[in-house]
Structure formats: structure tokens, C-alpha cells
Amino acid sequence: MKILSLFAVLPLLVLAACGSGSGGDNASAPAGSVKAVSAPAGANWLETVSETPEGGVRMGNPNAPIKLVEYGSRTCPVCGAFGREATQPLEQKYVATGKVSWEFREYLVHGQPDIPASLLGKCVPIATFFPILEQMYINQGPVEEKMSSPEGQALFQKMQNAKPQEVAAAWADYLGYVDFFKQRGLPEDKARACLADTKALDRILAVMKGGDAKGVTGTPSFFINDQQVDAIAWPQLEAALKARGA
């Protein structure tokens, strides 16, 4: 758990990192239009969801010619704004066609509060991963308020030297995540077990390390076919997808 020590020095709200993740280039030459790919009989690309070897969760055609990877934080306001605006058009206009696959990789840009959000987000059945991610963004407002409140700042200070499972449990209770997930079908005993799963946290931190190696410095950060694109909002990302033939 040595990597977790970095969270002790992160400020509660790393606003410079949330929303500054992209440093790539959208100036690629426009590609020819990519043809739609039908899902196998009886299947639906929006219901084709799987974990990837890189530690993310992917929706859509695993062999899509356009592969979108997002590094995101469930507590980042910029990620939340993107999620609320982009999820439905991204899924319906692009992923559903088989042209684009969408992979989400956790990136704990805010440190402590992100830990329970990601652990519980990865604890649900994989079929509900993306719907619950969207719901977390839709319900992000109260979470942001509690994080930035005096009580949130005090909790951050109190948890600086705590064990990872203690940090996860304390923030999950404070932010109301246990009840949030219970209302969406995750039993409390399973939620508590996931919050105490340090191996799961190690896997998330390994995903972050992989993102760092690719040049991720904040969230959201987007890659299309392994090329980082300069986008933090849906209009920018949609333009980049279209430029590549989506």
C-alpha cells in the first residue's frame, strides 16, 4: 500500500488536475467514415460490457475500429459535467453502432473521497457499471458540497494517516455512498467488504500508474486509438470522434 501515501499530501480538491487532463492534439487529418458493425445475433453493443486487461471497464464492440479510453474521477466536477452531457449521445450515436468502444479507467484525482467512490463503483455487477457511473455524476452536486465543506476538510485532515480501509469507510459514510449503492441493489454487507478490499484498491492504483505513464495529469483525459486528444467536454470529444470517422 505504499502508493497510497501520495493521498496524504493531496489537497482535498485538486482543481488544477480536475479538468486539465488532456494534453494531446485534435488536429489529426479527417478519416474516412467508419462503417457500422452489427452486434452478434441476440446481442446489443450497449449491453456488451467487460473488464479489460488494463484494468478498465469497456462497453461496446471489443473490436471496434475506434477505441475510446477515458481516465475519469467520480468526484471531479468536470468529469461530472461531461458524464451528464455525453453519456447518452456517446452510447446511442456511437457505441451502439459498433464503430466506437468506450472504456472507463478510474483515476483518483481527489485522493481520499475518490477511494470509496471507485471501490463501490467497481463492486457492482458489471452490467450496471456504466448506468451507475452516470447516476453518480447526475447526483454529484451534494457530494461536491460535502467534500468542500468545513466538515469535509476536517475529515480529510483526520484521515491523512489512517489505513486505506478506514479512509474508504469514513468517506463512504460521510458522502452517503453506502446508502446510494444500497438503493441500487448493492447489499450493505457486500459494500462494506468492497470498501475493505485493499487488493481492489491496489488494482485501481495500478490503473492510475498506467495512466501516468501515458501522460495523464488530470481528469477527464481521453485517448482515441491510444492517442491522447485535447478534450474535456462533449463537443470537443465528439468532434475528435467524427474526425476519426465515427
Q: Are the beta carbons of 113 and 175 closer than 8 angstroms? A: yes
Predicted pLDDT at 1: 35
Query: For position 171, what pLDDT does the model report?
Result: 98
Rounded to two decimals, the pTM is 0.91
Do residues 75 and 114 touch, judged by C-beta distance below 8 A? yes
Looking only at the bridges linking them, the beta strands covering 57-59 and 49-51 are antiparallel
10-residue averages of pLDDT along the chain (246 residues):
40 54 54 89 96 98 98 98 98 98 97 98 98 98 96 97 97 98 97 98 97 96 98 98 96
Cα dihedral: 123, 80, 171, 204 (round 10): 50
pLDDT for 166 equals: 98
Neighbours of 12 (CB within 10 A): 16
Q: Which long-range contacts (CB under 8 A, 24 or more apart) does 121-124 make?
A: 121/74, 122/57, 122/194, 122/200, 122/204, 123/181, 123/186, 123/190, 123/191, 123/194, 123/200, 124/181, 124/184, 124/185, 124/186
Q: What is the pLDDT of residue 32?
A: 76
Supply the pLDDT for residue 30.
56
3-state secondary structure of 184: coil
Cα→Cα distances 170→75, 100, 159, 226, Å:
16, 38, 8, 36
Q: What is the pLDDT of residue 18?
A: 84
> Who's near 119: CB < 8 A, 6+ residues apart?
168, 194, 195, 197, 200, 201, 204
Separation CA 44–CA 42 (nearest Å): 7
- Beta strand 221-224 with 66-72 is antiparallel
